[in-house]
Amino acid sequence: MDRNTSELTKLYYTIGEVADMFDVSKSLIRYWESEFSILKPHKNSKGDRRFTKQNIEQLEMIYHLVKEKGFTLEGAKKEIRSNKNSLIRRKKALKMLNSIKSGLKEMKDKI
């Protein structure tokens, strides 16, 4: 699943918007929030969750490990604790490569 966090323009996103971005249920987002200590969205006075760009990047990491790589929740927690910086660097490198790939495809189509 490829979400470009640089295209996020709002300061806060609702849980419904975030669930749609990841094509998962709101209850799964709430469950991951209870399981992963890195994920702490802001809450307003009514208790509604407000997700920042940073929260969405954290969810991308969790989603990638659990849904795409098949990690268990415990395995994903351990991976995040021990290799968080490496995971972030790999994610940035993949985004850069995908951007280059898209640019090359556009150039090829113009030729």
CATH number, domain of 91, equals 1.10.1660.10
Given this model, what pLDDT does residue 13 score?
95
Does residue 59 contact residue 22 with C-beta atoms inside 8 Å? Answer: yes
Q: Does the pLDDT at position 17 exceed 50?
A: yes
Domain that holds residue 84: 5-110
Q: How many structural domains does the chain have?
A: 1
Distance CA 23, CA 89 (A): 24
Counting beta carbons within 10 angstroms of the beta carbon of residue 62, is it exposed (0 to 12), middle (13 to 18) or buried (19 or more)? buried
Q: What is the pLDDT of residues 44-60, one digit of tens each?
A: 999 999 999 999 999 99
Tokens encoding 89: 């660097």
